[in-house]
Copies of this chain bind each other. A is one copy, B any other.
Amino acid sequence: MTDKLQLISCNKVHSGELRRYKHQASSVNCEMTFAVFLPLQALNSQGESLPALYWLSGLTCTDENFSQKSGAFKAASELGIVLIMPDTSPRGCNLPGEDDSYDFGSGAGFYLNATQAPWSEHYRMHDYVVNDLPELAEPLFNFSGERSISGHSMGGHGALICALRNPQRYNSISAFSPICNPSECPWGNKAFSNYLGNDRQQWKEWDASELLGKATDQLPLLIDQGSADEFLQLQLKPQALISAASKADYPLELRMQSGYDHSYFFIASFIEDHLHFHAKYLK
Residues of A within 8 A of B (CB): 11-15, 18, 68-69, 71, 73-74, 226, 228, 259-261, 263-266, 268-269, 272
Q: What residues of B have a CB within 8 angstroms of the CB of A228 in the complex?
A: 12
On chain B, the residues within 8 Å of A260 by CB distance are 12
Number of copies: 2
Judging by beta carbons under 8 Å apart, are B15 and A269 in contact? Answer: yes
A265 touches B69 (CB 8 A): no
How far is it, in angstroms, between the C-alpha of A105 and the C-alpha of B84 when the chains are bound?
39
A266 to B18, alpha carbons, bound, how many Å? Answer: 11
Q: What's the minimum C-beta distance from A67 to chain B, rounded to whole angstroms?
A: 8
In the complex, the answer to whether A11 meets B265 with C-beta atoms within 8 Å is: yes
- Set of chain B residues within 8 Å of A261, measured between Cβ atoms: 11-12
Cβ-defined contact, B12 with A265, below 8 A: yes
Residue of B with least CB distance to A67: B265
Q: Kindly report which residue of chain B lies nearest to residue A257, judged by CB atoms.
A: B12
Query: Chain B nearest CB: distance from A266 CB in Å?
Result: 7
CB of A26 to closest CB in B, whole Å: 31
Question: Which residue of chain B is the closest to A228 with respect to CB atoms?
Answer: B12
> What are 15 A-B contacts defined by CB distance under 8 Å?
A12-B228, A12-B261, A12-B265, A13-B265, A13-B266, A13-B268, A14-B268, A68-B69, A68-B264, A71-B268, A73-B265, A73-B268, A73-B269, A74-B268, A74-B272
